[in-house]
C-alpha cells in the first residue's frame, strides 16, 4: 500500500523537531508542518470538500503551497496544480474540466479573478494564499490553520491523488490522472537517483505546479530532509538562498544553470554545500557545461528525462557521465538509464521492440505510469496498452541500456523547459482575421533549446505582421506558447495524401546540420 501522506508521517516520526520548511522569514519543524497540514485538511472538510473532490492551486512557490500538497490528499481529495503562466481562458478550461470545488490563489495570480468571475461554475470557495491583503470577504489560508486537526482518511494505492494538466495534440489540455502509488513510487525513484536523506536541503526554484519539482517535493519529505522556497526562479535570489540555507540539492533546466553561472555576482556567494543538480527538459549545451564545471567543480549534475504521464521520472543519467573528458564523456548526449522502478523499450510502428541502436518510439512501463487522462478514454487508449505507455518520443537505446532521444513523434515543442503542443498554438492563430493557413513547428534556439515558430499563409489582401500575430496570441494562450518567430508564405502549406500538413518538410530547412530533430 502506497500513501502520499505516509511520507509526511514518516518525517514527523523520524525528524519531529528537525527543520521542515524555510520561506523568507518563516521557519518550521516537521511537527509544526504536520499539525498545520492536519488543520488545513480539517478546514477543507468543514468547507464541504469531500473525498475525491478536486482542489485547484494557482500560485507561486511557497511553504503554504507545500502544505496544501499534503493537506489535500490528507482528506482524500485530489490536487489540481495550475500552471501560473497560463492565460485566463486556459485556466477557465482546467477549472471546468476538472470540476474543481475550491481554488487557492495568491496575489500574483489575482488579476485572473476578474476575468474568471462568473466562469467558475464548479468552484464553491476561493481561498487567499498570500501575505498581502486579499479581496474583501475572501477566506485567508492562515484562517484554515485555526481549525481542529483532521485525522488522515487513509487515501492510498489506486486512489487519485492529483490531476496534472499537460498540453494536448487536439488543442485542449489533458488532465493526467496520477494515483498515490504513481507519486510515491516516483518519489522513491527520486530518493534512489538523487541520494536524498535526512541531511538533504532542497531549493524549490522550479515551479511547484510542475512535476519535475514535485518529484523532489515528495522525495525529500519521504527522506526527512528540508525544503527551502523561492517564489520563482530569479538567479540572484536563488544564489542567496543556496548560501543562506546551505542547500545541498537543486533542480534546474539548462537555461537556468546558464543564467546562474554567468551571473555577474555569482562569485560573491558561498555555495559550497551544493552537492547535486538535477537538470532536464533539454540536453546540456557544451558551453554551459564547461562554465558550470569551471565555477562549480564540486557539484554533480544528473540529467533526468520524463513526462507528466510517468509522474515524471523515466530515466536518469548519473553525474559521472555529465563530463567532457575521461572514460565517461561519451554518454553526455544520453538522457540516462531507466529509473529504479521503470522498464523502457524502443518499438517500431507496430509496437514491436527494435534492435539496439535502432530508432523507434520509447515505451515505458512501471507503477509510476498514470491511470489515464481525465474524461478522455480515447486518448488514454491511444497511449496505454498492456501496461505500457507509448511516449511519442523517438529514441534509440544502446546495449548498456542508455537511452538517447532523437526526435518527437508527437507534435510537441520543448522551449525553456515548458511543453508546447503545436495544435494549441495553431488553434489560437487560426482565429485571427486574415489567416488562411497556419502551421506551428519547433526550431533550434541557442538560449531556449527550441522556440515556437509559426508559418502562416495570409488571406489575399490581408496585412499581417509578426507583432500582430504575437499580440493576438497573448490574449488567448500562455506567453510561453506564443510564437517567438513568424514566417509568412504566399503558397499553400504542403499536404500529405491524407490532407495533413507535412510538418517534417516544413522543419527540414531549420534543422539542417543537426544530428537529431530535437534540441
Cα gap 56→429, rounded to integer Å: 28
In this prediction the pTM is 0.87
Q: Which three cell numbers stand for residue 30?
A: 516537521
Mean pLDDT of 392-409: 89
Mean pLDDT of 435-447: 88
Burial 170-206 (b: 16+ CB within 10 A, else e): ebbbbbbbbbbbbbbbbbbbbbebbbbeeebbbbbbb
What pLDDT, on the 0 to 100 scale, is given for residue 498? 57
Least confident interval from 296-305, 324-333, 362-371 = 324-333
Cα gap 448→47, rounded to integer Å: 43
Statement to judge: residues 347 and 305 lie in one domain: no
**Residue 327 located in a structural domain:** no
Statement to judge: residues 397 and 443 lie in one domain: no
Residue 14: φ, ψ to 5°: -95, -20
pLDDT at 149 > cutoff 70: yes
What pLDDT, on the 0 to 100 scale, is given for residue 94? 97
Tally of structural domains, the chain: 3
Comparison of pLDDT for 149 and 423, the residue scoring more = 149
pLDDT at 434 > cutoff 60: yes
Would you tell me how many other CB atoms lie within 10 Å of the CB of residue 263?
15
> 122 in the Ramachandran plot: left (φ > 0), alpha (ψ -120 to 50) or beta?
alpha
Statement to judge: residues 476 and 396 lie in one domain: no
For residue 349, the enclosing domain spans 334-408
Residue 213: φ, ψ to 5°: -80, -35
Percent of the chain predicted with pLDDT > 70:
97
**Residue 116 located in a structural domain:** yes
Provide the mean pLDDT of the chain: 93
**Residue 432 located in a structural domain:** yes
CATH code where residue 368 lies:
2.30.38.10
Mean pLDDT of 85-102: 96
Statement to judge: residues 422 and 386 lie in one domain: no
**Binning pLDDT at 50, 70 and 90, where does residue 254 land?**
confident
3-state SS assignment for residue 128? strand
pLDDT at 431 > cutoff 90: no
What pLDDT, on the 0 to 100 scale, is given for residue 170? 61
Mean pLDDT of 441-467: 90
**Binning pLDDT at 50, 70 and 90, where does residue 364 land?**
very high
pLDDT at 406 > cutoff 90: no
pLDDT at 116 > cutoff 80: yes
The H or E element that residue 291 is part of is helix 286-295
Q: Of 288, 321, 354, which residue is a domain's last?
A: 321
What pLDDT, on the 0 to 100 scale, is given for residue 396? 93
CATH code where residue 465 lies:
3.30.300.30
Half-sphere exposure at residue 239, Cβ-oriented, CA atoms within 13 angstroms: 17
Least confident interval from 85-99, 227-241, 462-476 = 462-476
Q: What is the DSSP string of 189-251?
A: HHHHHHT--TT-EEEE-S-TTSHHHHHHHHHHHHHT-EEEE-SS--HHHHHHHHHHHT--EEE
Mean pLDDT of 11-39: 97
Give the pLDDT confidence of 449-460 residue by residue, as tens digits.
889 999 999 988
Statement to judge: residues 349 and 234 lie in one domain: no
Statement to judge: residues 308 and 358 lie in one domain: no
Least confident interval from 198-202, 285-289, 426-430 = 285-289
**Binning pLDDT at 50, 70 and 90, where does residue 282 land?**
low
Q: Does residue 105 contact residue 128 with C-beta atoms inside 8 Å?
A: yes
The residue among 229, 246, 196, 215 whose CA lies nearest residue 11 is 196
Q: Does residue 288 contact residue 312 with C-beta atoms inside 8 Å?
A: no
3-state SS assignment for residue 376? coil
**Residue 317 located in a structural domain:** yes
**Binning pLDDT at 50, 70 and 90, where does residue 381 land?**
very high
**Residue 519 located in a structural domain:** no
Statement to judge: residues 378 and 422 lie in one domain: no
* Angle, vertex CA 187, rays to CA 52 and CA 311, nearest 5: 60
**Residue 221 located in a structural domain:** yes
pLDDT at 180 > cutoff 70: yes
**Residue 119 located in a structural domain:** yes
Q: Of 372, 390, 408, which residue is a domain's last?
A: 408
Statement to judge: residues 366 and 428 lie in one domain: no
**Binning pLDDT at 50, 70 and 90, where does residue 169 land?**
low
Mean pLDDT of 337-343: 97
What pLDDT, on the 0 to 100 scale, is given for residue 60? 97
Amino acid at each position: 500500500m502506497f500513501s502520499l501522506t505516509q511520507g509526511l508521517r514518516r518525517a514527523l516520526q523520524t525528524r519531529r523537531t528537525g527543520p521542515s520548511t524555510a520561506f523568507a522569514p518563516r521557519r518550521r519543524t516537521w511537527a509544526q508542518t504536520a499539525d498545520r497540514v492536519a488543520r488545513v485538511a480539517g478546514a477543507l472538510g468543514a468547507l464541504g470538500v469531500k473525498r475525491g473532490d478536486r482542489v485547484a492551486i494557482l500560485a507561486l512557490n511557497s511553504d503554504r503551497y507545500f502544505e496544501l500538497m499534503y493537506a489535500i490528499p490528507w482528506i482524500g481529495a485530489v490536487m489540481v496544480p495550475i500552471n501560473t503562466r497560463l492565460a485566463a481562458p486556459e485556466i477557465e478550461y482546467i477549472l471546468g474540466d476538472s470540476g474543481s470545488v475550491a481554488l487557492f490563489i495568491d496575489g500574483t495570480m489575482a488579476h485572473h479573478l476578474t476575468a474568471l468571475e462568473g466562469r467558475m461554475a464548479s468552484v464553491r470557495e476561493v481561498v487567499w494564499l498570500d501575505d498581502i491583503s486579499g479581496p474583501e470577504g475572501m477566506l485567508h489560508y492562515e484562517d484554515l490553520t485555526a481549525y481542529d486537526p483532521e485525522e488522515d482518511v487513509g487515501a492510498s494505492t489506486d486512489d487519485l491523488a492529483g490531476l496534472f494538466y499537460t498540453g494536448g495534440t487536439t488543442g485542449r489540455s489533458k488532465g493526467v490522472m496520477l494515483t498515490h502509488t504513481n507519486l510515491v513510487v516516483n518519489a522513491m525513484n527520486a530518493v534512489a537517483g538523487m541520494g536524498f536523506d535526512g541531511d538533504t536541503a532542497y531549493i524549490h526554484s522550479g515551479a511547484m505546479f510542475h512535476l519535475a519539482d514535485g518529484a523532489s517535493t515528495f522525495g525529500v519529505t519521504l527522506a526527512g530532509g528540508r525544503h527551502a522556497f523561492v517564489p520563482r526562479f530569479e538567479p540572484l535570489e536563488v544564489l542567496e538562498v543556496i548560501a543562506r540555507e546551505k542547500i545541498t540539492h537543486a533542480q534546474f533546466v539548462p537555461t537556468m544553470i546558464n543564467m546562474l553561472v554567468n551571473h555577474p555576482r555569482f562569485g560573491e556567494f558561498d555555495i559550497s554545500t551544493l552537492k547535486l543538480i538535477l537538470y532536464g527538459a533539454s540536453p546540456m549545451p557544451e558551453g554551459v557545461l564547461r562554465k558550470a564545471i569551471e565555477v562549480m567543480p564540486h557539484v554533480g549534475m544528473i540529467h533526468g528525462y520524463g513526462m507528466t504521464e510517468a509522474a515524471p521520472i523515466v530515466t536518469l543519467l548519473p553525474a559521472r557521465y555529465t563530463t567532457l573528458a575521461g572514460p565517461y564523456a561519451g554518454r553526455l548526449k544520453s538522457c540516462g538509464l531507466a529509473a529504479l522502478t521503470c522498464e523502457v523499450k524502443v518499438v517500431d510502428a507496430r509496437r514491436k521492440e527494435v534492435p539496439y541502436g535502432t530508432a523507434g518510439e520509447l515505451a515505458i512501463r512501471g507503477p509510476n505510469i498514470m491511470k489515464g487522462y481525465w474524461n478522455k478514454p480515447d486518448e488514454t487508449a491511444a497511449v496505454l496498452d498492456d501496461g505500457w505507455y507509448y511516449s511519442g518520443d523517438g529514441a534509440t537505446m544502446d546495449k548498456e541500456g542508455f537511452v538517447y532521444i532523437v526526435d518527437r513523434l508527437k507534435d510537441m515543442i520543448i522551449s525553456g523547459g515548458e511543453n508546447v503542443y503545436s495544435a494549441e498554438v495553431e488553434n489560437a492563430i487560426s482565429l485571427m482575421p486574415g489567416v488562411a493557413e497556419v502551421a506551428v513547428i519547433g526550431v533550434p534556439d541557442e538560449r531556449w533549446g527550441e522556440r515556437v515558430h509559426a508559418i502562416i499563409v495570409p488571406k489575399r489582401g490581408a496585412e499581417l505582421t509578426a507583432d500582430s500575430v504575437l499580440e493576438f496570441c497573448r490574449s488567448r494562450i500562455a506567453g510561453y506558447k506564443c510564437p517567438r518567430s513568424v514566417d509568412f508564405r504566399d503558397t499553400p502549406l504542403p499536404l500529405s495524401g491524407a490532407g495533413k500538413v507535412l510538418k517534417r518538410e516544413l522543419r527540414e530547412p531549420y534543422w539542417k546540420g543537426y544530428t537529431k530533430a530535437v534540441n
